[in-house]
Every structure is written in C-alpha cells, then in structure tokens.
Amino acid sequence: MTIYSWNMLYRNKELDRAFEFVSKSDFDIFCLQEVPADFLTRLQMLPYSLASRVDTEKIVASGTVPMYNVILSKHPVTAQGEIPFTSAQRWPTLRVRLFTELMRPFHFALVRNRGGLYADVLVQDAPLRVFNLHLALTHPEQRLREFERAMLERDPSRPTIVCGDFNTLERPHITLLNWLMGGRAADALLYKRERTHIERRFVEHELVNPLYGGITHPLSQSQLDHILVSRSFAIQKTDILPDRMGSDHHPIRVEIS
C-alpha cells in the first residue's frame, strides 16, 4: 500500500497543479489537510471513496473561512467518524490575542470548530482504520491532548494508519511560537522536549514513525507532517517530495506491506 499525506495550505495559489498531483498519484490512501471548500468539490468528482470533516474555521472580518480534512481511498470506505477538538482556552489570553492580531497580515487568525477525522477502509477484506489529524498550532500540551483524544477512537483489533500535520516544533528558532500561542516559557526554551514526548507516545500506542528526523516544513525545519503505521506493517519506502506545489509543506509518502 502507498500512503500520502499533505497539508496543501488553504490559501494555495497553485490549485490546478495541486489537483493534478493528487488525481494522478498512485496511492491507496491520500490524506489532505487545509483543503479549501472549492477544492473539496473537485476532489468529490474523482473516482475514489472520500471522507471529510471541517479541519477548522478561521474567524476573519467578513465571517468564517472553512477548510477541510479529507481522506481519499481507492478501497471502500465503510464508515467514518469525527473527532472534535476542544480549545485549550475558552477565552484566549491577552498574549495570544495580541500576537494573533499582530500576525494577521501573515494569515494568523482565531479559529473555531476544529476537529480530526477517521475512516474505516476495507483492504482485501481486512478492515483498516485511517486517521487524518491537523493538530493545533498553539503549544505542546494542547497538541498532545488532541492526539490522545484521537487515539481514543483507535480500535486495537485492526491495523491503524495515522496521517496529518501534527505541528510538532523542534528547532530553537521556531519554538518561541509555543509561548506566544499560550504555552509555558519551557515550551520555547526546551525545544527538543515536545519531539521526545510525542515519540514516546507513538511507541506506547505501538505506532511507528517512518519519517522520523525528516524535515517536511522548510520554515520550521521540523517534521510537522506524519504518517504513523501499526507495528504489524513492514516499511518498504519513505519519501519527502521536493515539489510543494503552492504549499508551505512538502507532501510525504510511505509504502508499506
């Protein structure tokens, strides 16, 4: 099986190239995050099974802008479910509000209705559960809480694939964002700690991170994007694709058997 995951960026200006990439890729499962509404409509016309859920709604002056998590499958999707993510703070702190306002020209905004998605896929008569997650660009505690909330929906009796943008920051030039977005000072200063903690949780959930150590997001110089697989799978090949096609994230691919 070939699995893709890609945060395509909701304000992507190369949507025709992005659509050609998705539609012509040889995949079994393709997970997408930050899918614009119009692009979702195009994906729904492809001859694949599809599951979707609102990734998040950005709150802007004119209202809200929705974007979606999408799972495309060449195998039948027999069921799907939503994973609602609750905000770490009902009322964002003054620090978060000021920083968000300052970064508004760079497309930062307060958000609502965040959530993840899972789909049950039937592969050669064997059930498989696929997760598609876009964890919060806030701080490590909230991201870990969201990951663990998603894992409550995992069925240990069936193989699991977990795709998505986890926003795990692991370089000293970028982890200040953890504090600016509501975390503790230690979340900025101990820049390797989040990666250490999340990898430990992967192991405890009996999941493998085949792209460990890779850089999937040039600005953060971190592995934001993940395809985790159950230990029962054998990893055949991994790729971080060089062409970002209008996104700030590289598409990633894992081949398993």
Q: For 61-91, how does the pLDDT look when each residue is reduced to its tens digit (9 = 90+)?
A: 777 889 999 999 999 999 999 999 976 445 5
DSSP 234: P
202 CB neighbour count, 10 Å cutoff: 16
Task: For residue 209, give the 3-state DSSP assignment.
Answer: coil
What pLDDT, on the 0 to 100 scale, is given for residue 106? Answer: 57
pLDDT digits (tens, 9 = 90+) for 119-133: 999 998 899 999 999
Tokens at residue 228, please?
């985790």
Q: How many domains does the chain have?
A: 1
What pLDDT, on the 0 to 100 scale, is given for residue 93? Answer: 73
Residue 59 maps to which CATH number? 3.60.10.10
Q: What span, in angstroms and rounded, lies between the C-alpha atoms of 36 and 159?
A: 30
DSSP H stretches of helix in the chain: 15-24, 37-43, 94-102, 140-151, 176-180, 185-189, 193-204
Range of the domain at 247: 2-256
